[in-house]
Amino acid sequence: MHTNPVHSAPAPAAPHLGGLGLFTVLLGAALPMIDFFIVNVALPSIEHDLAAGPALLELVVGGYGVAYAVLLVLGGRVGDSLGRRRLFLVGMAAFGVTSLACGLAPNAWTLVAARVAQGAASALMLPQVLATIQATTEGPRRARAMSLYGATGGLSMVAGQILGGVLVAADLGGTGWRAVFLVNVPVVVLGLVLAVRTVPDTRAGRPAAVDVPGTLLLALSLVSLLLPLTEGRAAGWPLWTWVSLGVFPVAAAAFYATERRADRLGHTPLVPPSLLRLESLRRGLALLLPFSIGFGGFMFVLAVTLQQGLGIGPVRAGLALAPMAVAFFGASLAGPRLVSRFGSRLVTAGAVIQAIGIAVLLATLRLGWPDLGPAALAPGIALAGLGQGFQMPVLMRLVLSDVPADRAGAGSGVMITAQQSAVALGVATLGSLFLALAPTAGVRDAVSTTLLVQLGLIALSVLLSLRLPRMR
């Protein structure tokens, strides 16, 4: 009698992220970063159209950034538990709805509320991108995907201001500043269609419950720091801003103690202290913070300097940043090959090149003011972008290099929260320094002082980069 041999069931194939899937998640990563900066060039139009004062305008920018930074780690944790594709789809759909609400806002307070909601939607979507890349790629494919993610991050920040200038100047259908938000809607629809078809679903092997005390204390820590720094200058530094800043160290210490206790009791904290014991993550984050503070402040101050100091219109001001975008993208793509040859020393070289670019830009502004156009500024801006492009993707890859796949959501959430909080901190601190000096010292001296501070941050980056773990 013939019997069929018994075969064991094949193991399920590991989820694989194809080229179109990678494009889709990178599109999801680009949208929140573009919208962090796209509003900068639209603020004068918003102020005129909605009769919004300086404090409300600061909230239009800062409300988005604070909600975004506060909820990122939670977004990563929920994606680990419920499925990263599901959270990516929910976050992207919510981003489209809140973008529509921003574009249709009848008054300034409605716009502020819609921007806060848009930041929250971004926090659901963005952590799923890195976590999905970590869980569905390995080896050279992961290195390439991480480089493209880093390139997307830097380019999005630059492209946001370029695109914002073009859209405001174009005044499509009489929409004016509203177009900077409405343009997101068709892009979101495309992203949702692609995501359903091309993004594999992944989740953590041992999903953890939400750490409620940790989430609340992290939110309190970030809000008590970022909100007064964002709002303080425009509001005239009232008492609540100083009280809030006084709350920050207490809340941060309580957060750390709560997370350590949860770890000790065998629970799963929002930010596991064991992750911070990874040398690659700890040292990479230490360098990512000054880099991102400088990057955020530089982009904001340069946008204001080009338009208000040099009198360059929004479109030409955006195009002045094009050399930075091209150099950043080229450096990001070359990163994996150069890392295999020079390791983490590429970050040191990138910081030195960035410092040279900032120094060239500073000299150009000092010597040529005020008769300067995009062509004269291009060498310094391009060198700064080249140096930044050699740093950001490598740092992101390094930070996550030793994070286990089942903790990819937590690891990416921690990294993105640190990065975006630092970008917001850079806009708040370097931006406030610039705006405080400009009325008395003049725009040229204000931007010069700000660039000197950034050179100090870059010098710190060089020193920290010498302590980075070796990588291939």
pLDDT at 282: 85
**Locus of tokens 């990819």:** 408
Assess contact for 89 and 80: CB atoms under 8 A: no
Please report the pLDDT score of residue 10 as a whole number. Answer: 45
Give dist(CA 305, CA 286) in Å, integer.
29
Q: What is the pLDDT of residues 153-189, one digit of tens each?
A: 777 877 787 788 788 877 777 888 899 999 999 999 9
Nearest to residue 142, comparing CAs of 413, 400, 409?
400
CA-based R_g, the chain, Å:
22
Predicted local confidence at residue 229, as pLDDT: 84
* pLDDT at residue number 79: 85
pLDDT value for 318: 75
Low-confidence stretches of the chain (pLDDT < 70) are: 1-14, 205-208, 405-406, 408-409, 471-472
Q: Which residue has the tokens 């503070």?
A: 293
The closest of 437, 457, 435 to 384, measured between CA atoms, is 457
Four-residue CA torsion sign, 219, 286, 454, 304: negative
pLDDT digits (tens, 9 = 90+) for 227-267: 888 778 877 889 999 999 999 999 999 999 998 888 888 77
Cα separation, 315 vs 167, whole angstroms: 9
Instruction: Specify the pTM.
Output: 0.81
Quote the pLDDT of residue 208: 65
Distance between CA 192 and CA 28 in Å, rounded?
Answer: 9
Of 362, 353, 345, nearest to 383 by C-alpha is: 353
**In whole angstroms, what is the distance from residue 221 CA to residue 263 CA?**
20
Query: Do residues 457 and 294 touch, judged by C-beta distance below 8 A?
Result: yes
**pLDDT computed for residue 472 by the predictor:** 54
